[in-house]
Structure formats: structure tokens, C-alpha cells
Amino acid sequence: MNLLEILKEPESGKPIELDPTVLELPGDLETPVSAYLKLESVGAKFLLESAESPKSVGRYTFIGISPTHRIDILRDCCRIEGRDGKLDIPHASDDAPFTALRQILARISISRDVPEMRLLGGLVGYAGYNCVSFFEPRIPFPDNRDEVLGSFYLVDTLLVFDHFSRRIKVISLTESGNEDSLRRSKELIDKISAALHGPVRIPQTMAMAANSEFVPNMKRDEFENMVEEARKNIFAGNVFQIVTSQVFSGETGADSFQIYRALRMLNPSPYMFYLKFDDLDLIGSSPEALVKLEDGRAILRPIAGTRRRGHTEEEDAMMSEELAKDEKELAEHVMLVDLGRNDLGRICKYGSVTVPEFKKLEYYSHVIHLTSTVTGKLRDDADQFDLFRAAFPAGTVTGAPKVRAMELINEFEPTKRGPYAGSVGYFSLSGNLDMCIAIRTIIKRGRQVSLQAGAGIVADSVPNLEYKETLNKIAAIKEAIRIAEEGF
């Protein structure tokens, strides 16, 4: 699509109207993993999966193929690059960094819906934690003005697994009345169909010693001292809670997608994702939504409270009971549910915010979490970007009050967070939104890998236990890298 020409004159011209073309295929002999590997040859760039619980798969899996554009969020502009060239759109002072993203989605419309399909096309990618500096001037940007703070693909071709009907849909959006667009779409669909009927290419791990060592960005006593500093600020009344984190860095010769394969087996989660950009790969299995918007209904699912899984059913039950009765964990959880209610209250209709699920135990491969659900009805004068702004970043990765906690995080932590604690997901052309929190996430740049995990600090936190919590949280992703290195 000739999007850049239209974006140069945002107030003139008609929006681009797109017609969905849908090809249905049987899906009983294919898996999302095998399909992605087959489709890499035709430009597959991301895979979004969901396990609604550790024992059940979500209805849809999305594979994005041959995106039309990449949009990078920089400090001063959004840089858009695609088949039709490159364009920088400066941020408007009152709408950074969404100026360009709003313009893109505003200039595109879909001629008809595809029933029950939550994502037909739109912006898929990540917004790093440092994007918070757009919303809160007291949090400084990274020193490098050209650092990429987030990246999104504009996608108009998707392969969608419907796990309920066991069908695969190839959905391609073509410009109404544009014969060249229709021809390109048909050619791509033919290539997708041919690739799916071809063999699977298993990526090879590069020669390298297995069991890579991951070096933290601070010593154990430094992390525990940071916890003590956080507690001092809590006792001083500056914050009620603060989430402190540490980074583990290392190298691996393992293929990125092989790491994803291992992670999805080890730690099935509501948000499993693999995003491949030129400069980095994001590999994640996040248990927690940042925010969702479905037909005007906003949804938050705060997670706060963690125990390791037991080695036996009896130990698992003991750990669950311990978590459910832990006053420190319960107080932290209630605080973050209240923060979520406040976030939605700023953008939802008065009186519509409710908590339909409260203090529910959820079980993952290595940990048990305490979760709740907060919902509200989005105001008529707000959209998906307004909702994102209200919720970002999640209180579960900052603390409360949110702004003061973020100031202290900036003061305490020795390195900027980057993608960690930001969000991954999509802004749909339909106006819907589904973004998770970028935790349990691997950031891979070539051979370089970084893992990051945090612990929620409250008044009665014990420093050595908070340190152990960060180790528990990265256990599954370290194990995934080890498995991928050894080959499977």
C-alpha cells in the first residue's frame, strides 16, 4: 500500500480501504511451530500464541507474514520504513509517541469484518519500558536520542490457527479497486499455500558450549542493598511498594526460534510470543496482560504474589496455601489491584470499573501466582491508544504510587530497562488492543542475550528472599536456552 504518500498529507485524501481475502485450509496436520518454520521463507516475522491456562490452549494463534512497514519509536519521531520508502513523522507534543501510530490506523479502513476474528491486521510489536518518558516527564529518556524505544510491524497478511474449529485461515488485506494490490496478495497467498505443503526446516544451533553462564548486572549484596533502600523509602512514606529488578547477560549459539520452542513447552502462558526484527529478537512467555480492549471493554489482570512450584502434589498444595495466607503478598496484591482500578477509572465510564476475579491462584511450570481481573467500559471519547497510555507501564513492574516508584527505579537500577517491563502485542485495525507485559522475556541480539526479573518490595520484605524470587522467575527461560543449546 502507498501509505507514506498519504501520511505526508494527513488531512487530505481518502483513507485506504482494504478488502479481506480469506483462504481456509484444514489445520489438523499442522502446528503453529511447523507453520512458522515453513513460512520463514515467505517473510514470517512474528508468532503470537496463548495458553489460557497451563492446561488449555487459547483459541487463536497468529503468524504475521511479509509486513508492509516497520515503525520504530524514537525519542523525537516515529520512523516508518516499507516498500514505498522511508518517512520520519515527528511526535506531536500532546500525543507522543502515538502521533504516527494514530495516523496510520486512521488512514486505513476494512471494508467488511471476518466473523469472530479479533485481529485482521494492524500494528504488532513492542513498546519498551523507556516509552514511559513520553508520558511522565520526570522520568528521563536514555542518553542516546537515536535509541529505538519500541518497534511495530504494520501487517496486512496473517496466518491464523483457529484451535476450536481446527482450521487455518490465511487472511490478506488488499486495496479496494487496486489490481496490483490484488495480484500481489494472490501471489503471496499462493506462496504461503505452497510453503505449508513443503518440508519443515529445523534451525541449527551454532557450535558453542552449552549451559551458558549469565552474569548479573549487580552482585547479590548490591541487589539486597537496593531492596533495603527501597524499604527505607517505604518507611519514609515516599512509596507503598517498589519493584526492583536485575539483568542477567550472556551469550548463546542457540537459534532464537529453537529457544522459543523450548520456552513454550516449559512455561505455557497466556501470552507466548516470538518477534523477529533486524536488530533484535523478542522471545517471551508472559503470564500477565498489560491491558486488553475488546469491543469497548477494557481488561487488566494484575499479578502480584509468587511461590515456586512444589516437587510433589503435597508440596504444591503447601506452597499454594502459604501464598494464599501470606499477609505481605496479599497486601501487595490488593495494592496493585487498587492501582489497576485507578488506571481504568481514569479512562473508563464512571461506575463501570469492577473486579470480577480477586486473589485467584494460577499455576505455571515453575511458579504459582496470585491474580485478579479488573474490567471497565471505555469512555466514548477514548480509543485504544488512550487506554494504553492510562495503563502503561503496569503497576506490577513499577510499584505504587507509580510515578514516584518509577523515579526511584531510575535512581536505583544501574541500567535502563529497555524492552523488559514494557509491553508486547497489537493495536488492531478494528480498534481492539491486546498487550501483555514484557516479563519472562528473552532479548536476543545476535549471540547476546539478556534476561531480567524483578521483585515487589514492601515494608516487610526480606532482601535475600526477594533476591531468590528474581532467580525463580528466570529459571524457566534459562532452562529454555539450555535445552535449545543442547538441541532437541
Give the tens place of pLDDT for each residue, 32-41: 999 999 999 9
Whether 279 is covered by a domain: the verdict is no
The mean-pLDDT minimum among 72-76, 117-121, 185-189, 344-348 falls in 117-121
Residue 366 has pLDDT above 80, yes or no: no
- Average pLDDT estimate for 408-415: 97
Set of cell numbers at residue 432: 481492539
Q: How far is CA 448 from CA 185, 357, 421, 444, in A?
A: 36, 40, 19, 6
Q: Are residues 243 and 162 in the same domain?
A: no
Active-site annotation, residues: 369, 396, 420, 440, 456
Residue with cell 490506523: 105
Q: Are residues 336 and 455 in the same domain?
A: yes
Q: Are residues 185 and 324 in the same domain?
A: no
pLDDT tens for each residue of 283-293 = 999 988 999 99
Whether 278 is covered by a domain: the verdict is no
What does the alpha-carbon distance between residue 135 and residue 150 come to, in Å, rounded to a whole number? 14
pLDDT category, 59, cuts 50, 70, 90? confident
Q: Are residues 154 and 229 in the same domain?
A: no
Q: Which of 425, 483, 474 is nearest to 450 (CA)?
A: 474
**pLDDT in the model for residue 236:** 97
pLDDT category, 271, cuts 50, 70, 90? very high
What does pTM read for this prediction? 0.92
Q: Identify the domain containing residue 335 by its residue range.
A: 215-254+288-486
Q: Are residues 83 and 231 in the same domain?
A: no
**pLDDT in the model for residue 3:** 75
Q: Are residues 188 and 226 in the same domain?
A: no
What does the alpha-carbon distance between residue 375 and residue 226 come to, in Å, rounded to a whole number? 34
Sorted by sequence, the CB contacts under 8 Å of residue 286 that are 6+ apart come out as 269, 270, 271, 272, 273, 424, 436, 437, 438, 439, 440, 441
Whether 347 is covered by a domain: the verdict is yes
Residue 109 has pLDDT above 70, yes or no: yes
Set of cell numbers at residue 446: 545476535
Q: Which helix (H) or strand (E) holds 32?
A: helix 32-39
Query: What is the overall mean pLDDT for the chain?
Result: 91
**pLDDT in the model for residue 44:** 97
- Average pLDDT estimate for 45-74: 86
Respond yes or no on whether the N-terminal peptide bond of residue 393 is cis (omega within 30° of 0). Answer: yes
Q: Are residues 73 and 145 in the same domain?
A: yes
CATH value at residue 436 = 3.60.120.10
Please state the domain count of the chain: 2
Whether 275 is covered by a domain: the verdict is no
Whether 210 is covered by a domain: the verdict is no
